[in-house]
Amino acid sequence: MSTQNLHMYRRPEALLNVRTHYCAGCGHGIIHKLFAEALGELNIREETIVVAPVGCSVLLYNYINVDGLEAAHGRTPAVATGVKRAQPNRIVVSYQGDGDLLAIGTGETLHAANRGENITVIFVNNANYGMTGGQMAPTTLVDQRTLTSPKGRNPQETGYPIRACELLSTLEAPAYIERVSLHNPGAVKKTKKAIVKALQYQKEGRGYSFVEILSMCPTNWGIEPAAGADWIKTSMVPWFPHKVFRDRPAEAAAAGGKAS
Amino acid sequence: MKQGIPEIDKERCKGCGLCIANCPKNILEMANDINSFGAYYTICSDESQCIACGACSLMCPDAAIEIILKREVG
């Protein structure tokens, strides 16, 4: 009897061999890794174009070995629309944060979803503006302290956190909308499944797919990374519940199965 | 029981501790040393206890942990 060793988990090939600029424990790193794994699994690395947002993930194309371009703040879905229409055979992914997607880019987000563009949007929700130092974002929770809401967000003054998935699921066109998170290894696995599914649907030409990922920003939340993961579970998940809001292809398959 | 070896790339590690917090066997710990970037890094204190669950490699934001599965053949 002898032992044979084999890799159970390997660093994904699509991830470039560079050190990222993200803070220790930042959720972007986990999402980049899952995205790179998904590209490898579906074998679509060569045909993928990533549109990077303005925010912490602005240098996304330096870390993942895919073609990429940079859009003006919030205009990522508009640029992705153009790229997809010019190059319909490429997989176009718009990677956005909460300031980009829900503050300055709300219009682009809603209309790209409403047109049902065949693109994938990965939405990283960390409840603040990370790059600029942790100011209040549209997704900041009620009573959450940030740089610009030092006494906690007051809904009388600044309203309530926007739930992007619920908002988009009122539209008719999107094919796939799901909210997932990164608070523990099980949740990370589900997140990867959601990303793979979204990319798969785009590859099959099913239409607009949207994945919201609750992510941690321990530096700007002022807590340790592990405590940040717990904070997602205890504070963010009650307001932003995990749910598949829409899965048109699966619903159609189920209905087709029943009919036959 | 599956047996594994966590291979931690200490130069890639930023010392966030997410792997340590999520290890079901509590065999990962922070080293008393820093890497060339000045960050503390994770080490495995007892590789024989590793069950190759992959929790650390899933949570690692810098993809610094690879898991090698030990398999008995023959």
Residues in B closer than 8 angstroms to A64, CB to CB, are none
Beta bridge partners of A97: A124
CA angle A150, A145, A106 (to 5 degrees): 105
3-state class (DSSP) for residue B73: strand
Which residue in A has a C-alpha nearest to residue B59's C-alpha? Answer: A185
Q: What strands, in cross-sheet order, belong to the sheet with B65-73?
A: A2-9, B65-73, B3-8
> Cβ contacts (< 8 Å) between B48 and chain A: which residues?
none
How far is residue A223 CA from its own chain's centroid? 22
In chain B, the domains with their CATH numbers are 3-70 (3.30.70.20)
CB contact under 8 A, B59 and A224: no
The mean per-residue pLDDT over the stretch A22-37 comes to 94
> In the block, which residue shows the tokens 């987000």?
A109
**Residues sharing a CB contact under 8 Å with residue A2, sequence separation 6 or more, in sequence order:** B72, B73, B74
Per-residue pLDDT, A199? 96
Q: Does B67 contact A8 at a Cβ distance shorter than 8 Å?
A: yes
Does residue A259 have a pLDDT over 70?
no
- Please report which confidence band the pLDDT of residue A231 belongs to, taking 50, 70 and 90 as the band edges: very high
CA distance B74 to A194: 39
Q: What is the pLDDT of residues A157-170, one digit of tens each?
A: 999 999 999 999 99
ipTM for this model:
0.93
Quote the CA–CA distance of A126 and A146 in Å, as a whole number: 12
- Assigned CATH for A27-259: 3.40.50.970
Scan residues 7-26 of A and list those with Cβ closer than 8 Å to B: 7-12, 15, 19-20, 22-26
What are residue A49's phi and psi, to 5 degrees?
-120, 125
Task: Give the A window 223-252 contacts with B, CB below 8 Å.
Answer: 224-226, 229
Class of residue A182 by CB neighbours under 10 A (exposed 0-12, middle 13-18, buried 19+): buried
pLDDT at B1: 74
